[in-house]
Chains A and B, each alone.
Chain A
Amino acid sequence: LAKITQPISMDSYEGQEVNITCSHNNIATNDYITWYQQFPSQGPRFIIQGYKTKVTNEVASLFIPADRKSSTLSLPRVSLSDTAVYYCLVGEPSTSGTYKYIFGTGTRLKVLA
């Protein structure tokens, strides 16, 4: 699987909507797309997962176009506490005992007051 790329960094103001893209040109048919939030010196925290079209939960939305070569995480109204690094993960859970999980390069989001 080729490198999964994201913008290095983004700045936003409190209350704005933030959209972070992830490019995964070689995504396989069975791969899911998952987004995580990571604070310094902590493990990643799950945000949302999808396979195609649009998924929404209480904290975010995930948009996946028909060709699935990219995805966009949308955070509706960010606050200062959303300042973190956001990673997309492309992977395929397997029943055969082998797994393939590849993280994107990560996007450092800074929310300004």
Chain B
Amino acid sequence: GAVVSQHPSWVICKSGTSVKIECRSLDFQATTMFWYRQFPKQSLMLMATSNEGSKATYEQGVEKDKFLINHASLTLSTLTVTSAHPEDSSFYICSARVEGPEDQFFGPGTRLTVL
């Protein structure tokens, strides 16, 4: 089956710094990837849709200048959390769009902790 990886799996940073999270489709090409955020004991919330070669589409309430998304190739999308603050601490999960009944394959997630 399709495999999606994320790097790093966890990161701790100081408030005010920027953090980049990578999402890769390992054995297939994905023109579309998605970024989700999940706070403890809550559901996943779609943050943005990442389209290869074009600008990302952000969901309402998600600041595009704070959460920078780059989808430079068919196998890689990156999410950069700029000037991170403790309230940005969360579990960030990406997925890659696939044709067929499963629609999207999810990565393992990245735990971000901002001190």
Cβ-defined contact, B93 with A43, below 8 A: yes
Cβ-defined contact, B43 with A42, below 8 A: no
- A44-B106, A101-B34 known; A49+B101 contact, CB < 8 A: yes
A residues near B108, Cβ cutoff 8 Å:
42-43
Cβ-defined contact, A91 with B103, below 8 A: yes
Distance, CA A25 to CA B6, complexed state (A): 34
* In the assembled complex, A81 has its CB within 8 A of some CB on chain B: no
Min CB gap A41→B, angstroms = 7
Distance, CA A87 to CA B38, complexed state (A): 13
Cβ-defined contact, B103 with A49, below 8 A: yes
Bitwise interface map of A from 10 to 44 toward B, beta carbon under 8 Å scored 1, else 0: 00000000000000000000001010100001111
Which size bracket describes the interface of A in this complex? 20 to 34
Give the residue among A42, A99, A102 with the most B Cβ atoms within 10 A.
A99
Which residues 63-115 of B sit at the A interface, judged by CB distance below 8 A?
A: 91, 93, 95, 97, 101-109, 111
Cβ-defined contact, A103 with B44, below 8 A: yes
* In the assembled complex, B49 has its CB within 8 A of some CB on chain A: yes
Min CB gap B105→A, angstroms = 8
B residues near A106, Cβ cutoff 8 Å:
42-43
Distance, CA A45 to CA B54, complexed state (A): 28
Cβ-defined contact, B111 with A32, below 8 A: no
Cβ-defined contact, B44 with A42, below 8 A: no
* In the assembled complex, B57 has its CB within 8 A of some CB on chain A: yes
Cβ-defined contact, A93 with B91, below 8 A: no
Cβ-neighbour of A41 out of B95, B105, B107, B109 (below 8 A) = B109
Cβ-neighbour of A87 out of B43, B46, B57 (below 8 A) = B43
Cβ-neighbour of A42 out of B97, B102, B109 (below 8 A) = B109
A-B contact pairs, 11 of them (CB 8 A): A34-B102, A34-B103, A41-B109, A43-B6, A44-B44, A46-B105, A87-B43, A99-B97, A101-B34, A103-B43, A103-B46
